[in-house]
Amino acid sequence: MTWVITKLCIDCKDIECVEVCPVDCIYDLTTSDDKYPNQLYIHPDECIDCAACEPACPWEAIYQDEAVPEIFQEDTQINAQVFEDHQPDEFTTKPTPLRQQPSKDEVEENKKKWGFT
């Protein structure tokens, strides 16, 4: 079992999840690739299923793979595929945050943007 970062992270990338991950399995893609959105990704082979990342994510973007909401099901495959399509040197475990500490209203607005209400 693993955890998945959904598109609720796109253009948000608060790094609290990265900071609490005990095995450094949360990555940012450092190269430009239109196939993959500007968000963080959890390496499915490195995740130890500790669940530390989920409550740390203020954007509520992280789900256990079996519990990913239907609207975000494609994100599970995208989250795994990015690591097959890119070399390890194209990732970092020290991403630069884009939007930190969102308000409750910002979180709800982001969910609505992606059709998740």
What is the distance between the alpha carbons of residues 8 and 17, in angstroms, rounded to a whole number? Answer: 13
Query: What local confidence, expressed as pLDDT, does residue 50 receive?
Result: 96
Q: What is the pTM of this model?
A: 0.94
- What tokens were used for 60? 């509520």
The CATH number of the structural domain formed by 3-113 is 3.30.70.20
- What tokens were used for 34? 């239109």
Q: Which pLDDT band, with edges at 50, 70 and 90, does 117 fall under?
A: confident
pLDDT tens profile 55-85: 999 999 999 999 999 999 999 999 999 999 9
Q: How far is CA 25 from the centre of its chain?
A: 11
Phi and psi at residue 64, to the nearest 5° = -65, 140
DSSP annotation of 96 reads P
What is the distance between the alpha carbons of residues 37 and 21, in angstroms, rounded to a whole number? Answer: 21
Q: Which pLDDT band, with edges at 50, 70 and 90, does 87 fall under?
A: very high
Query: What local confidence, expressed as pLDDT, does residue 6 receive?
Result: 98
